[in-house]
Every structure is written in C-alpha cells, then in structure tokens.
Amino acid sequence: MAKEEKTKASLIIAKNKENNGKNFEENSLIEVGKSAPLFSLPSDDGDISISELKGKNIVLYFYPKDDTPGCTIEAQDFTKNIDKFIDMDCVIIGVSKDSITSHCKFIEKYKIAFNLLSDADGEVCKKFDVIKEKSMFGKKYQGIDRSTFLINKIGKISAMWRSVSVKGHVEQVLKELSKISK
C-alpha cells in the first residue's frame, strides 16, 4: 500500500512538470505571504523542481537525518496521512543533506510514501534558513533545524514551523492546509 501511495504522489509531481512556475520567485527573505525560493534537487525519483509543482499545495519539510528516531516518526506520520494530503491537492516533500542512497534505504525500510530530496551541499537549506548551530555531547556544529513550510498553489508560503516538535506536527500542518484548500 505504501508503494501505491508513493506512486500517487509521484504522479502528481509528474503531471505538474509542464508548469512554468511563474509565481515562484527567487527570494532571500522567508516569511509567510512571500514567494517560496526556487530550487531543484535530486530525489529518490529523479530531479524535482519546486516550480514544476505550481498549481499544487506543497508541504516542504526539512529534517536532520534519515533513519533517526525523530525523523523516522515524522516521515511515518506524514505517510500515515498521505491520503488526507492528496485529497487536499498537496504534495509532501522531505529534504535533508543525506545522499540519495541513504534516502532510498530510508524509504524502503519505512515505506515512506513521498519523495525525499538530497541537499548535499546545503544550498536549499540556506535559502530556507534552516541551518542552525546545534550542540551534541558539548560539541557545536551546523545542522538542519527541523522546519516545515506550507506553500500554496501559487508559490507563496502560507505557514511555517521552525524547531518543530514531531508529536502532533502533522495534525498542525493538516489544519493549516485545510484553511487554504477550501
């Protein structure tokens, strides 16, 4: 069933590849009401450009690392609710700095029903301002701050969540999505 759901989500992306993305703009300031930054990244299913998704709502979420506890729960929660997102004409896209090989293993292991994009050099993460200083075992490093952006059908950011707590997050996103899907 997860493979069928993934196929549905991939078909939505494929159908929109002919769109020209006129309403998406280069934008260095990330705020609600502004245009989402343009980008194209490799995925487990080929390159995906955000401009190709014009006409669909988009949940674009950034997460730190494949196959870690919080990231796994978040991906599974989005997958469990994929039909609700599809019903509201929405595509879910996950982004991390992990490789495509890592994404493919993660998708297969947990039956993730949507595309995961690889931002290996972190350029898209920088565009969305999700790279933050973190600390683990007293050592500081730059990493992805779990963040989600809801982008409407014309490419504007409708809602965003920073420093996301995984529990209940998908429900928050669905609630906001229902407001723009009417």
Question: Annotated catalytic sites, by residue?
Answer: 71
Residues 6+ positions from 146 with CB-CB distance below 8 Å: 61, 62, 63, 64, 70, 71, 74, 163, 164, 166
CB atoms within 10 A of CB 176: 17
d(Cα 34, Cα 31) in Å, to the nearest integer? 6
What is the phi/psi pair of residue 163, to 5°?
A: 45, 55
